[in-house]
Amino acid sequence: MTRPAAPEARATRPAQRPAGLDLARIRADFPILGQRINGRPLVYLDNAATSQKPRHVIDAVRRYYEETNANVHRAVHTLSERATAAYEGARTKVQRFLNAAEPREIIFVRGTTEAINLVARSLGQARLRPGDEVLISAMEHHSNIVPWQLACEERGARLRVIPMNQDGELVLEDLDSLLNERTRILAVAHVSNSLGTVNPVAELIRAARSRGVPVLIDGAQAAPHLRVDVQALGCDFYAISGHKMFGPTGIGALYGRAELLEAMPPFQGGGDMIRTVTFERTTYAPVPHKFEAGTPNIAGAVGLGAAVDYLSGLDWDRIEEHERDVLAYAVERVGAAPGVRLIGRPAHRAGVVAFVMDAAHAHDVGTIVDRAGVAIRTGHHCTQPVMDFFGVPATARASFALYNRREDVDALVEALDEVLKVFT
């Protein structure tokens, strides 16, 4: 495994461009990057929304449908056995990727959103009582807010929020009172999707676990950038989306500690999640199958497994160095561009640079840079409370993946110049 544990990356600023990473080869693995958009080479800087897919993943999904496709866990015929082996093999790959203790601690879901809904519903049902509290943070994606609001509403519990400061970093001064005897779970993003902040999750997990509070980490934005080790972190749940880490859409994984998963009630009912069914009573399959009702996204899981293989084959010391370099360059160049104001200045950052322009609304910025072939995201990024906090209706967000380079930043900055030309 070439991704050993290093729960938190440090966004320092190297003076020199690092040598030694064969970026041209990596870029050649992603067929879509060779495209021209509006007559210009594609500069894809919307990776926090979804990443592009390497040929490895595309081929694995195609091969699965061409050679293996059958339903899993059911029939005795050869294809079904092959499909089951491919699906369960993908589970083992994800287990190793996150360094979970056992494959059964990995539940395949549609993505991070479904993973969080699963925990909010199931754990909420089992543990939340009137007056209890759920603790999240001020920079959560809507998918780590709304499921908890639903659970709190249903159970008469209260949602509490760890605040943040103007740099876009969590403020932990009042953590002692926020994490109290009524707290039933802490759910927090490893990396913020709208600010790029790498949160001190190891510290938060220690604080919560020392009070017996289970912790869910939303790892959607962390998995493509950081080496994640759920055992070293000590979290109880860790949620990831395949499509944000170079895998297909519609597949993701929830890591859950076996002990907790076993005690939790099912999320959805249906086939595959049962042991015996009579009209009087149903007994459930052991984990992970208890949480995987119905025919799963088998091809998606195979594609996610291939993405994990792809990532595991890369030299992560060099990837991290390269990503740090490009991100620091982006913060510096975008931050210095005329008429641009960065939103959030976190000391530890991964993958994201958010900004606004005085002259133009983020949406106009997005349209204008797209004409130069540069794809960025504009809007509230499913984090309306973050927009409210910074007092902006929307931001423009450039988000990076391992295949981006300094030249992509240059193209963005050049395109931002065009915005000024239109509006001044």
User: Binders of another protein among 391-410, rule CB under 8 A?
Assistant: 393-394
What the block records as the tokens of 303 is 């594609």
138 contacts another protein (rule: CB under 8 A): no
Looking at 161, 367, 406, 417, which residue binds another protein (CB under 8 A)?
367
Distance, in Å, from the CA atom of 81 to the CA atom of 87, rounded to the nearest integer, reads: 10
What the block records as the tokens of 148 is 């908890």
DSSP string, 290-309: GG--SS--HHHHHHHHHHHH
Element (H, E) at 144: none
**Catalytic residue numbers, as ranges:** 382
Looking at 379, 406, 410, 414, which residue binds another protein (CB under 8 A)?
379
423 contacts another protein (rule: CB under 8 A): yes
374 contacts another protein (rule: CB under 8 A): no
Closest by CA to 388, choosing from 325, 342, 343, 421, is 343
Stretch that binds another protein, among 197-205, 248-256, 321-329, 377-385 (CB under 8 A): 377-385
What the block records as the tokens of 336 is 């210095």
- Binding mask 6-45 toward another protein (x if CB under 8 A, else -) reads --------------------------------x-------
Q: What are the CA-CA distances from residue 207 to residues 165, 198, 278 (Å)? A: 20, 17, 44
Compare residues 307 and 387 and give the one whose CB is closer to another protein: 387
Looking at 274, 380, 406, 420, which residue binds another protein (CB under 8 A)?
380
CA 78 to chain centre: 35
421 contacts another protein (rule: CB under 8 A): yes
Compare residues 272 and 418 and give the one whose CB is closer to another protein: 418
358 contacts another protein (rule: CB under 8 A): no
User: Shortest gap between Cβ of 361 and another protein (angstroms)?
Assistant: 4
Looking at 109, 217, 387, 412, which residue binds another protein (CB under 8 A)?
387
Looking at 149, 309, 418, 420, which residue binds another protein (CB under 8 A)?
418
Compare residues 337 and 394 and give the one whose CB is closer to another protein: 394
334 touches 345 (CB < 8 A): no
Compare residues 56 and 361 and give the one whose CB is closer to another protein: 361
Distance, in Å, from the CA atom of 227 to the CA atom of 340, rounded to the nearest integer, reads: 32
Distance, in Å, from the CA atom of 73 to the CA atom of 142, rounded to the nearest integer, reads: 34
Looking at 151, 362, 375, 409, which residue binds another protein (CB under 8 A)?
362
Looking at 368, 375, 396, 409, which residue binds another protein (CB under 8 A)?
368
363 contacts another protein (rule: CB under 8 A): yes
422 contacts another protein (rule: CB under 8 A): yes
**Which phi and psi (to 5°) does residue 257 adopt?**
-65, 135
Compare residues 95 and 395 and give the one whose CB is closer to another protein: 395
Residue type for position 278: T
170 touches 139 (CB < 8 A): yes
**Which phi and psi (to 5°) does residue 391 adopt?**
70, 35
Stretch that binds another protein, among 57-65, 153-161, 348-356, 366-374 (CB under 8 A): 366-374
Q: Of how many residues is the chain composed?
A: 424
Q: What are the CA-CA distances from residue 82 to residues 28, 88, 299 (Å)? A: 30, 10, 12
365 touches 348 (CB < 8 A): no
Output the 3-class SS for 2-26: CCCCECCCCCCCCCCCCCCCCHHHH
353 contacts another protein (rule: CB under 8 A): no
Looking at 226, 302, 360, 401, which residue binds another protein (CB under 8 A)?
360
Using CB under 8 A as the criterion, which residues of the chain lie in contact with another protein when the complex forms?
Answer: 38, 360-364, 367-368, 371, 378-380, 387, 393-394, 418, 421-423
